[in-house]
Amino acid sequence: MVRRDDEADGEGEAGTVVTPSAEFPPLAERDLAALRRIGEQWYEAPSPRPDGELPVDPTLGRYPGRTVPGRFGRLAPIAMFQVGDPGELVAAESATAPRSRLGRGLIRVRRVVLGPPLRSSAVVSERMRKLVALPVLSSDLLSSVAYGPEAMLAVLVLAGSGALGLSLPLAAVLAVLMVVVGVSYRQTVVAYPHGAGSYVVATDNLGVRPGLAAAAGLMVDYVLTVAVSVSAGVHAVTSAMPGLSGYAVPFGVLTIALLLAGNLRGVRAAGNLFVWPTYAFVFALLALLLVGYVRAGARGFAPVDPPPVAVAEGLGLVLVLRAFASGAVSMTGIEAVSNAVPAFRRPEWRNARTTLGWMISMLVVLFVGLTLLIHLNGLVPEGEATLLSQLARVTFPTGPWYGLVQAATALILLLAANTAFAGFPRLLFFMARAGHAPRRFLHMGDRLAFSDGLIALALAAGLVFVTFGGHTQSLIPLYAVGVFLAFTLSQAGMVVHWRRRRGPGWRRRAAVNALGATLSGLVLVTAALTKFHEGAWVVVVAVPLLVLLALGIHRHYRLVDESLSLHPSPNGGRPPMALAPLPGAVEPGAPAEAQELPQQVRHLVVVPVARLNRAELRALAYAVSLGQPTLAVHIAPEDAEADRFREQWTAWGDHVRLEAIVSPYRAVIGPLAHYLEALHTSRPDVLLTVVVPEVVVRGRRYRPLHSRTEQRLRRALRPLPGVVVTNLPVHLDD
């Protein structure tokens, strides 16, 4: 990862760009050196025919884009490949189409919903300009003002209506926190111009485990962002139309599915879908604030007395801290820009920093403005209508404006989860690149979106939403802990970053990040302690479990890499599943799973034979044609059947050695698998190639009529080392 120390001296540096090739990392220098040493020991086996007599023209010169072999040897008039660079073919879009009629139908539906696939080279054009990136990445941050002030007041009102006046100083402190954390993340964008959320920053500066803790907090936050945003949006809809309250959960699940489909269309397409709802919400709230303050000014800004509320809890420091932590949920999504810097147009870091500045400015104006206006109108939280709905009703008592504000609010809340859909897959990408998440999250789908990460987020958020019945207030207590854990670790990591770099102005930058880390840590501790019994314990437990899971994944990938590496392990010994010694003499007696040179491989071809028909004889012919020792194995249920099969075998000519195994309990797969395992144990230097004939029928309706023994055998033999299973298909005409 290349980092930028300041704005001036790093503008021309190259960095790591997220492309479809990220899941295919290049070999290191020591791997290339080992590969050369292996190649020096390799000899090419003699070819049975000259290159000019190959059965397939590798350049497709014989098929210049007119016809290609189709299913079962028929010719299809589809150009599947084009000749690219010398020795290279380029697959056409049609080459990815499935052969079955059902598969082609599903592909057509997918194209209608998600659009046609994009070429890998289009990843550069799938970038966002600032006016598109602002609504895409700020929808969560800005929409939180619709429920953040209400979450704060819902705690204060427990001490009676007289405690609601504390909302103003708390809003002022939260505004300072927003500015400090926002400026801190602007510095993070400059220092890490190629995408660095809390996970990358904390890992780079504090270590692996703090980085994973930040990642775990962010993952929980992203999942809750979707669940909370959708539940708040559904609540906004039911506030305006109470008759729909019974359909809240199905409506929320449908919204998550639509968000998933929109994001699977790609970054740019998703941005175009979600631009206008965010801008409509911002303009609606600005109009609400403008008209509301004009009305308040007409009465001299005298606050309206709130209705009397019974005291449910005494006013104390703990209650105030709980209210502060609840109001801090308005900051969720503030780090989305730093995580998605590569999604911006060039210069990425400069556009990202500008966008983040706009976001923070709008957040402070909307949060403080709404909190003060709610106080001036004497509004208190109610169960049926949200505070924003009450404020819009008071500000626009007549006309269509109330409906427009509610519609814009509901729409932005429902679509605010899009910020999580933009950040969660990229977080998993960075984790997978470091080996802390499954490598499938490195893969880009056919629309150049991280499809697996998007689907994982939708499933997790949908489960949380359904589990909590779509109740916003039940989800809020889980919200602040994870995100402020990530904020705290990220800002602390930036302090270490500046101390290491010590560039111009590093003390000032480190002081800003230190202040952000301190304030974020205060919110983290407050939320964890005061909301522990309200549900925050779930996050406190989930974060360590996610860290342990990530460490386990990394441990597994490390063992795999060591086992498959081309160079010896760092401690000088051979890895647990080392392939072969790189330099030096050949080891003819090496285990079959440790053979990588052709002169090391010793074969035994095994053909399971049930009955002597055309499929079995074809498998035997194929096995013998390989020119290797061949053994036929027959599993008989009793001695009499074994004797009858030997007679048939003798009549055929006894061309291959036969081993008949009597299975009195009529099992086939188990005895065969144990026999092959015994063969491998007795001669571990011999590679067993099992040739299994497979009858293939075209019609799906006939498949249940066949036992599919070959698939069961493949599953049973897969765990055995040194055993290769080859299916020899025999196609039948229906």
Handedness of CA 137, 138, 143, 144 (dihedral sign): positive
Condensed to tens digits (0 to 9), the pLDDT of residues 486-531 reads 889 988 999 999 998 888 888 988 998 898 888 888 888 888 887 7
Q: Does residue 254 share a domain with residue 329?
A: yes
Pairing of strands 723-732, 686-697: parallel
**What CATH number is associated with residue 201?**
1.20.1740.10
Q: Per mean pLDDT, which range of 97-111, 237-251, 498-512 is the poorest? A: 97-111
Other residues' Cβ atoms within 10 Å of the Cβ of residue 310: 8
Q: Does residue 411 share a domain with residue 535?
A: yes
The domain boundary residue, chosen from 532, 556, 580: 556
Condensed to tens digits (0 to 9), the pLDDT of residues 153-177 reads 988 988 888 888 899 999 999 999 8
What is the pTM for the complete model shown?
0.72
The residue among 592, 605, 619 whose CA lies nearest residue 709 is: 619
Backbone Cα Rg of the chain: 33
Are the CB atoms for 447 and 505 separated by under 8 Å? no
Answer whether residue 118 is part of any domain: no
Q: Does residue 419 share a domain with residue 278?
A: yes
d(CA 358, CA 138): 9
The CA-CA-CA angle for residues 391, 397, 399, to 5°, reads 120
* Residues facing residue 724 across a β-bridge: 689
Q: Does residue 490 share a domain with residue 414?
A: yes
413 or 67, which is more confident? Answer: 413
Are the CB atoms for 652 and 687 separated by under 8 Å? no
Condensed to tens digits (0 to 9), the pLDDT of residues 209-236 reads 999 999 998 898 888 888 887 887 787 7
Q: Per mean pLDDT, which range of 52-56, 455-459, 500-504, 606-610 is the poorest? A: 52-56
Q: Does residue 623 share a domain with residue 506?
A: no
Condensed to tens digits (0 to 9), the pLDDT of residues 624-662 reads 898 889 999 888 888 888 888 888 888 888 888 888 888
Task: Quote the domain boundaries for residue 687.
Answer: 592-732
Q: What is the mean pLDDT of the chain?
A: 77
**What CATH number is associated with residue 677?**
3.40.50.620
d(CA 404, CA 396): 10
Answer whether residue 272 is part of any domain: yes
Q: Does residue 313 share a domain with residue 174?
A: yes
The residue among 359, 330, 289 whose CA lies nearest residue 136 is: 359
Q: Per mean pLDDT, which range of 75-79, 429-433, 549-553 is the poorest? A: 75-79
Structural domains of the chain, count:
2
391 or 341, which is more confident? Answer: 391
The separation between the first and the last C-alpha atoms of the chain, rounded to the nearest angstrom, is 58
